[in-house]
Amino acid sequence: MKLSYKLYPFLNQDSNKKSIGDIIILHGLFGSSKNWVTVGKFLSEFGNVYTLDQRNHGDSPHSAEHSIQVMAGDLEEFILTHQIQKPVLLGHSMGGLVAMYFDLTHPGLLQELIIQDIAPRSYPFAYDNEIASMSFPLVGFSSRTEIDQEMAKFVSDSFIRQFLQMSLERKEDGSYHWKLNVDGLNHARRVFEDVFTFDQTSETPTLFLLGGESDYIRESDFSLMDRFFDKNQKVRIKGGGHYIHFTHQKEYLDQLGKWLQSEFT
């Protein structure tokens, strides 16, 4: 599948700084390239940055097939189509699972791997409320405020609602629709199960950038990270949750910058 993407060309005000190569960013479930504008611009100081819309998200095509494996196949097609050599791959949540699976099944292809707040294991599909908040008919709603009020009946957290609404689009006739394939994602409830069922290990230098208070990471995950990724470093951002690229943006970008500078100098 040909994925939609945004490109942030390498741009560094220091003429002595050379590009480290291409960087690819994979968003999480219900996200899109729109969630990564600030990070994309920041990382463009190091190289060309591609922020992808994965299938069933953003401006990429919809499909009834949605799994970590097929998304890894989409990524492979993207890399081949754009003739990208040895990229740095950053993945958050679902995108992190895709990134880890891709690296483990394509040894030696990546230059570096950055995984945000996810571990190489199975996860439950615990998003019934989010799906419900995007499943009611949008006919008759005249503003985003009205839609938000209806969504609040299912998702009380305003941050999560605002995150979801980044995929809410208004048509020329004034009506609204979801760019996400909500029904398709609802029927892909095993997407996070039984992905890492093999013994392959990776030699790719890997940074696990984790929220210190995240519900997605448990202590037993650290041994799994070590099992699959021989050359990994773990950094926990104090007080951070699953969306540290938003909630703890300064520290998050500082850690990304430190990692890239240490690995490429």
Per-residue pLDDT at 16? 82
Phi and psi at 146, nearest 5°, equal -65, -40
Please, how many CA atoms are within 13 Å of residue 115, restricted to the half-sphere of its CB? 29
Tell whether 52 and 71 lie within a shared domain.
yes
Those residues with Cβ within 8 angstroms of residue 63's Cβ, 6 or more apart along the chain or in another chain: 1, 55, 56, 70, 181, 184
Q: Is there a single domain that holds both residue 173 and residue 102?
A: no
Which of 145, 163, 186 represents a domain boundary (last residue)?
A: 186
Same domain, 9 and 137: no
Cβ-based neighbour number of residue 174 at 10 Å = 9
- DSSP 8-state symbol, 159: H
Could you write out the DSSP letters of every residue in 246-262? HHTHHHHHHHHHHHHHH
Q: Are residues 60 and 96 in the same domain?
A: yes
228 near 100, Cβ under 8 Å? yes
Q: Let me know whether 100 and 216 are in one domain.
A: yes
Residues 6+ apart with CB under 8 A from 13: none
Count of domains observed in the chain: 2
- Listed residue (58, 54, 81, 82) closest to 68, CA to CA: 54
- Mark whether 9 and 105 lie in a shared domain: yes
Radius of gyration of the chain (CA): 18
For residue 232, the model assigns a pLDDT of: 98
Q: pLDDT for 172-227, tens place per residue?
A: 998 999 999 999 999 999 999 999 999 999 999 999 999 999 999 999 999 999 99
H or E segment at 244? helix 244-247
Cβ pair 256, 43 in contact under 8 A:
yes
What φ, ψ does residue 112 adopt, rounded to 5°?
-145, 160
Are residues 209 and 110 part of one domain?
yes
pLDDT in the model for residue 265: 65
pLDDT of the residue at 17: 85
Instruction: Flag residues of the chain having pLDDT under 70.
Output: 265
Do both 43 and 107 map to the same domain? yes
The whole-number pLDDT of residue 37 equals 98
Name the burial class of residue 21, with classes exposed (0-12), middle (13-18) and buried (19+) by CB atoms within 10 angstroms of its CB.
Answer: middle
CATH number of the structural domain spanning residue 211:
3.40.50.1820
Q: Do residues 197 and 145 both lie within one domain?
A: no
* Same domain, residue pair 154 and 259: no
145 and 169, same domain (yes or no): yes
According to the model, what pLDDT value does residue 15 have?
A: 80
**Residue where a domain stops, chosen among 169, 186, 203:** 186
Strand partners, 144: none
One domain, residues 168 and 194: no
Q: Which domain holds residue 156?
A: 128-186
User: Of 186, 208, 229, at which residue does a domain stop?
Assistant: 186
> How far is the C-alpha of 185 from the C-alpha of 145, rounded, in Å?
25
Cα within 13 Å of Cα(182), Cβ side: 18
